Amino acid sequence: MRLSFLGAVGEVTGSCTLVETGDIRFLVDCGMFQGGQEARPKNLRALDFGFDVREIDFVLLTHAHIDHSGLLPRLSMLGYKGPIYATPATIDLLEVLLPDSAHIQEKETEWQLRHRHRRGKDERGVPAPLYTVIQALAALKLLQPAAYGATIEPAETVKVCFHDAGHILGSAWLEVTLTGEGKPRKLVFSGDLGMSDRPVLHDPEKVVPQADVLLIESTYGDRLHRSLPETEDEIVAACERTRVAGGNLIIPSFAVGRTQEIIYMLADLVRRKRLKPLKVYVDSPMANAATRITLAHQDLLDPETRELIAWVDKHPEKMRLEFVADVERSKALNEIRSGAVIISASGMCEAGRIKYHLRENLPRSECTIMIAGFQAAGTLGRRLVDGAKLVHIFGEPVPVRARIYTVGGLSAHADQAALLKWLGGFHQPPGQCFVVHGEAGASANFVEAIKAQLGWSEVRLPTPGEVVTR
């Protein structure tokens, strides 16, 4: 068996692992690299395996986030025609996310072309989209459903079970059993794990007792999240500060998972009278669709969330939600000078409608920007978190006068303590443990925490592109 670490090594985007066993080749995730100028060349090189992609037998997908799924259309475009296995909710989300990803790329290319034409320059140097909407739609046809708890056999020597990871709707950690080379071997891929005892989704399922190989994420492997009460206090402080100052509260948010959790938190705080009635605009077609999909999968939601949904339906005057669809209405939001809570994608402020809202509200000291998710190195969101006083949006300088709040407790990722608790479910250490999906410092810190607190010895960081034979 060979493992090739093709992405999310020393960073949190581009998740992709190639597994080769006997004559079988398969991928676990096929994610897009995001953030900074290096992302595009990485995405162009990402699927250069040294052999034809048509030789891959199948793909296993842990969840719908673009850093795990975003290169599936490019894989298909390059000739892959095999099945892509994912949970039904993940498939529903991908039907929104992948075409939207392609649409954003197409629009970015169009904008750059217009910008160059206005300046009298030719089209050379303007990058083409990694894939088009048509190519994204073609990739969707390859998706095959795999229910939680059911064992599928994508190949004669491979068995796979998807387990609830509690990260976003439909997210899974994977239990993969290989039987083709002598003694059966078990591989566990954590995907992205969520926090226990948090609103909206069920807690992550406990891990299996034993594994020969484990790949564990480490996004927050070097820190602890604030408690839920502390997080609520921060949200109340941001909302109240903005209300008193007479500005708007702008929340960059991942369309899937984070937006729905923020809506829950705001509604619950209003219900408990910790916040005054709110007018909330969700300005992201993708987030709107993701919310509809979430409501269509209420069996995947925890009981408290289902109860709150019923309360919001009965009290629309207290939690006034508007899901903004058309572009003209989105533009009109920038005419609102105070009293608006605007939740918009993308979560790292790199693309989409959020950039327009930031351009209009960042220069206003009475406004507040609430960062509620991980911001990868090189992104606009990361620059704001790091205290930039001036940023560039659409090529133009924008002064940062708004107050920046960072609410870390809303993360959909497990923190160090939660990750260690999940790993503690193993009855014995895995034969090999590879720490992935984390910036270099966080991953290295987590390796040491595993060794110190769990007593595991066979745990390490892989290197980008490394091939391990076992």
Shared-domain flag, residues 197 and 315: no
Bridge partners of 390? 399
Instruction: From 359, 375, 410, give the residue that closes a domain.
Output: 410
Q: State phi, psi for 235 to the nearest 5 degrees.
A: -65, -45
Buried b (16+ CB within 10 A) or exposed e, 61-88: bbbbbbbbbbbbbbbbbeebebbbbbbe
How far apart, in Å, are the Cα atoms of 47 and each of 68, 80, 352? 14, 11, 26
* β pairing state of 158-164 and 151-155: antiparallel
Q: What stretches of 35-126 show up as alpha helix (H) in DSSP?
A: 39-45, 66-69, 72-77, 88-118
42 three-state secondary structure: helix
Shared-domain flag, residues 302 and 400: yes
CA angle 50, 55, 58 (to 5 degrees): 120
Please say whether the dihedral angle defined by the alpha carbons of residues 166, 167, 169 and 175, taken in this order, is positive or negative: negative
Give the pLDDT of residue 356: 95
Q: How many domains, in total, are found in the chain? A: 2
Shared-domain flag, residues 182 and 261: no
Shared-domain flag, residues 187 and 44: yes
Bridge partners of 301? 201
Shared-domain flag, residues 203 and 328: no
Helix (H) or strand (E) holding 343: strand 341-344
Nearest to 201 by CA among 272, 296, 298, 96: 298
Is residue 51 packed enough to be buried (19+ CB in 10 Å), middle (13-18) or exposed (0-12)?
exposed
pTM: 0.88
Q: CB of 254 within 8 A of CB of 345? A: yes
Shared-domain flag, residues 242 and 362: yes
293 three-state secondary structure: helix
Shared-domain flag, residues 201 and 275: no
pLDDT in tens, the chain (470 residues): 999 999 999 999 999 999 999 899 999 999 999 877 788 889 988 888 777 899 999 999 999 999 999 999 999 999 999 999 999 999 999 999 999 899 889 988 888 887 766 776 666 667 789 999 999 999 999 999 999 999 999 999 999 999 999 999 999 999 999 998 778 999 999 999 999 988 899 999 999 999 999 999 999 999 999 888 999 999 999 999 999 999 999 999 988 888 999 999 999 999 999 999 999 999 998 899 999 999 999 999 999 999 999 999 999 999 999 999 899 999 999 999 999 999 998 888 988 899 999 999 999 999 999 998 878 788 899 999 999 999 999 989 999 999 999 987 888 899 999 999 999 999 999 999 999 999 999 999 999 999 999 999 999 999 999 999 98
CATH number (domain holding residue 254)? 3.40.50.10890
* β pairing state of 396-399 and 390-393: antiparallel
Give the Cα separation of 11 and 228 in Å (integer): 27
Give the Cα separation of 23 and 326 in Å (integer): 49
Shared-domain flag, residues 431 and 289: no
Give the pLDDT of residue 170: 97
Domain containing 130 equals 2-223+413-469
Helix 258-271 to helix 285-296 angle (10° resolution) is 70
CATH number (domain holding residue 206)? 3.60.15.10
Shared-domain flag, residues 325 and 376: yes
Shared-domain flag, residues 179 and 285: no
Is residue 396 packed enough to be buried (19+ CB in 10 Å), middle (13-18) or exposed (0-12)?
exposed
DSSP single-letter state for residue 202:
P
Instruction: From 410, 437, 461, give the residue that closes a domain.
Output: 410
How far apart, in Å, are the Cα atoms of 381 and each of 254, 354, 410? 12, 11, 16
